Structure formats: C-alpha cells, structure tokens
Amino acid sequence: MSSDNVTQFPADFVWGAATASFQIEGAAHEGGRGESIWDRFCATPGKVRNGDTGEVACDFYHRYPEDVELMQELGIDAFRFSIAWPRILPDGRGRVNEEGLDFYDRLVDELLERGIRPFATLYHWDLPQALEDLGGWPNRDIVDAFGEYTEIVAGRLGDRVEHWLTLNEPRVAAWLGYLQGTHAPGRTSRADALAASHHLLLAHGRAVEILRRAVPAATVGIALDLHPFHPASSSDGDREAATWLDGFEHRWFLDPIFRGEYPADVLTRLDGDAPPVHDGDLESISAPIDFLGVNNYSRQVVAAGPDGSPREGARDPEASYTDMGWEVYPDGLFELLVRLRDEYAPPSIYITENGAAFTDVRGHDGSVRDPERVAFFEAYIDAVGRAVAEGVPVHGYFVWSLLDNFEWTWGYGKRFGIVYVDYPTLERVPKGSFYWYRDLIAAQRRDRPPVSVSPASTRR
C-alpha cells in the first residue's frame, strides 16, 4: 500500500510516535527507581496475563540510544514518552533520585540532537507504591505530591522540553484502577474511584499552573481516551444508555477541564458517591490548556441493560476487529474531532495515540509484514486529514506505539508496535508499518522546510 494515498497535511503538522515509561523502560530495580503500583500489581498472581511484569520490558532504559536512532530513521518530528514518577521520587515525596532525572535528561538531549521534539507525559499510570500506601489517588494529599513532582521535573527538563502532557487518560487510571480493579492498584470502590478522578483532575490543574510558571515556553495539554458511543439501535433506551456512558467516560473529564463544571446528568446518578469538591477546585481544573491530546482507537456500540444501564452492543458482522477485539472504525475519529471542536473548542488538538494490535509474526526471512496495521493507519490518518480539512485544529499525530510493549493486563501478548520486539533477545525489527510510516512522513515533507526543534534546544 502506498503512503501517497494519504492527503497532504499542513507543512507544520507534527508526525510522531508514542510510548509510556512502564510499558517500555524495564530496569525496574536500577538507577534508584522505587516501586510503582504496576510492579506490585504484576507481582499479584492472576492480575496480568502470563505473569508478565515490567522488570525488563523493552529495556528502553538501556537501549534508548538505539531506539532514538530508529526514530531518526523513521523521520518523526516528535517522540511522546512518559516520566516514571518512582524514578524521580522513589518514595513518592521527599528524597529526589538524581539518577532518575539524569536518565530523562540524557534521553531529551539524545532526541534533540537528532532533531526530534520531546513530548513528555508526567503521569502514565505508574504511581509510586509508597503513595498508594497512603491512600493513592482517592487521598487529596496526592495533589500536593504531584505538584512537588511536577516542580522537580520541570526544573530539570523545562529548559529543553516545551511540550508537556500532565496526565494520560485519567478515566482509565480512576475507573479501571479504583472502580473495576482491573488495573493497578486493583481497588473496587465507586466512591474511591470518583474521589480519584477528582484528584487526578486537580493534579492536572496544579501541574498546568506549575508548568506555566516554571517553563515559560511550555505548551501544556492532557491526553484523554475518547471514542464515539453509538447506540445499538434507535430505541430511547439504547440512546439514553449511550448518553449515560458518554457522561461517565467523556464529559466527566472534558466538562471540568473546558467548562469548569461536572456534568449535571452524571452528578444526579452518583447518590452519596459524588467526589469532595472544595471551593476553587473547578477553577484550578479549568485553567486554560494549550492543547487537548486525543487517544483514539475505536468506537463503542452501547445497548441498554434491563435496568437501563449501558452494556456493550452486538458486534457488527461486517466490521473488522483488532487483536484487542476493538472495532476498526476510522470514521469515529473524524466524528469525534468535529464534536470536540464544536462542543469544547480546544485551541489545538494532537492525536496523542492511535494504533492497533495484531498478531504479528516474523517471516522466514526474519521480517514482519503487517498489512492490517498499515491499512488501519491509512484509514485513521485519512480521517484526521478530513477533520483538518473541516477546520478542526489538529496539529499532530502520534502512532501508538513505536515499539511492541507491555500492554497492561494483557502483558506482552498484544503487539501495538511499528517495531517488533523479540522479547527473548530484545532485538528490534521494524515492521512493514514502520517503513510505510517513514515513507508517509517523507512524502508529507517533500514540499515543506524541515521542522526546527525548539530554540531552547541546545545541549546544556
């Protein structure tokens, strides 16, 4: 499939690849890193498939120079990575681990030297276990702890990193971590989950304020997981169920950030479990951001259960599904982007994650062909192009993910990378989609001047 099929994007459009610390770094006991809730969760029998852990992962902690070289070969403008809080503050607060800061310092320099802009996420789910032991996200004290952590990281990297994401997918951190218990720390209380969501949003607001002060050139955003909820039928029940889910999963996060209020229809369903909101909280949460990060993979078809509550609708026999069981539905990304523009008017949008897991295997010649992933990217990037043509201010796109990696409860069983990782040897094998993406970026660039990295990006 040719990358020339993709529409021409604006000259300053940012092409990138995304990752997250726990999913790729490994070196769990090196460099002074403390324990994270995901280390503890992985060590708890039955929580993660196959007993997989983040102990080694892709060994990015040691192999990052080789991986940055691959990024350069790929030709990306930007690399999205996250910072592991337990590497910086092994006990969550207090003692700063310089070795942890040094690691991200070297990574940032390596990226800038190769003309790649760093997009740093402060929190991609690896909370220091020491903070979970104090109550985790449901305990309001965590907002101060996150502020201290942000201050330290911004102080060290802010002279070279301009693009910051405060949180990755607070919905997943709160709902899967504290309500469903399927992600670390594995708790199951609705009141705790709602308190966690509020404190995550407050931590976001705090970090925005700190980054603005500490990094005058900062461009700050947050990455939310967003996808259309489509009613399984036109019945009132299915439509209401879809609205209900949209409230809990989207508007619960979008409304406080962009409008400074929680959605009334969700609040009325919470009974006594509404989170403790103090005076000034919503002002802090709604501090203006520079961009919204959109993580999108699929859509969800929603039917009403007997009590009206939402549940997954029937699968479309005509549709194709990825190895995660997620429907390939590129029009959903277009629909979502137009909706975000119309309802929330973010000043700018980056697609901070988009990609697909398929059961990749190495051929006899050692190569990995992944035409389904290429077709997926082609269709989704086309949807982004259509949104741009409609005037939605999308300024960049990051594939999830650069490397096959630790896919949370699925362990290493799900491969999202455009680079195959042979886990026994840690060898990297660029897949067909890597070369396709490389050619797409090159074709997009043919008519544009090279993107310059930040003016502050000289090596210290």
Q: Would you state the structure tokens that stand for residue 415, as one six-digit string?
A: 């491969």
Question: Could you count the other beta carbons within 10 Å of the beta carbon of residue 113?
Answer: 13
Q: Which is nearer to ligand FCB, 47 or 160 (CB)?
A: 47
Among 58, 172, 333, 349, binds ligand FCB (CB under 6 A): 172
How many other CB atoms are there within 10 angstroms of residue 358's CB atom? 18
> Percent helix, strand, coil in the chain (nearest 5)?
45, 15, 40
> Contacting ligand FCB (CB under 6 A), which of 244, 376, 400, 437?
400
Q: Which residues of 115-136 are buried (b: 16+ CB within 10 A; e: fewer)?
A: bbbbbbbbbbbbbbbbbbeeeb
Instruction: At 159, list the tokens.
Output: 């002279």
300-330 as b/e: b if 16+ CB within 10 A: bbbbbeeeeebeebeeeeeeeebbeeebbbb
Give min distance, CB of 429 to ligand FCB, in A.
20
Query: Of 25, 35, 162, 169, which one is the catalytic site residue?
Result: 169
x/- binding map, residues 184-223, to ligand FCB, per CB under 6 A? ----------------------------------------
Q: Select the residue interacting with ligand FCB from 52, 132, 360, 407 (CB under 6 A).
A: 407
Q: Give the CA distances from residue 137 to residues 130, 132, 193, 201, in Å, rounded to whole numbers and listed in that order.
A: 12, 7, 8, 10
Q: Fill in the per-residue mask, 281 to 320: x = in contact with ligand FCB (CB under 6 A), - = not in contact.
A: --------------x-------------------------
Interface with ligand FCB by CB under 6 A: which range of 166-174, 193-201, 371-379, 431-439?
166-174
Piece of 164-172, 186-194, 271-279, 375-383 that binds ligand FCB (CB under 6 A): 164-172
d(CA 112, CA 66): 15
- Please confirm, yes or no, whether 353 is among the known catalytic residues: yes
Shortest reach from residue 353's CB to ligand FCB, in Å: 6
Looking at the Cβ atoms of 326 and 344, the one nearer to ligand FCB is 326
Residues 10-39 that bind ligand FCB (CB under 6 A): 20, 23
- Say if CB 284 and CB 202 are below 8 A apart: yes
The binder of ligand FCB chosen from 77, 225, 281, 370 (CB under 6 A): 225
The alpha carbon of 104 is separated from its chain's Cα centroid by a whole number of angstroms, namely: 18
Q: Is 169 a catalytic residue?
A: yes
Q: Which is nearer to ligand FCB, 294 or 388 (CB)?
A: 294
- Catalog residues that contact ligand FCB under the rule CB under 6 A: 20, 23, 168-169, 172, 225, 295, 353, 400, 407-408, 416
Active-site residues, by number, are 169, 353
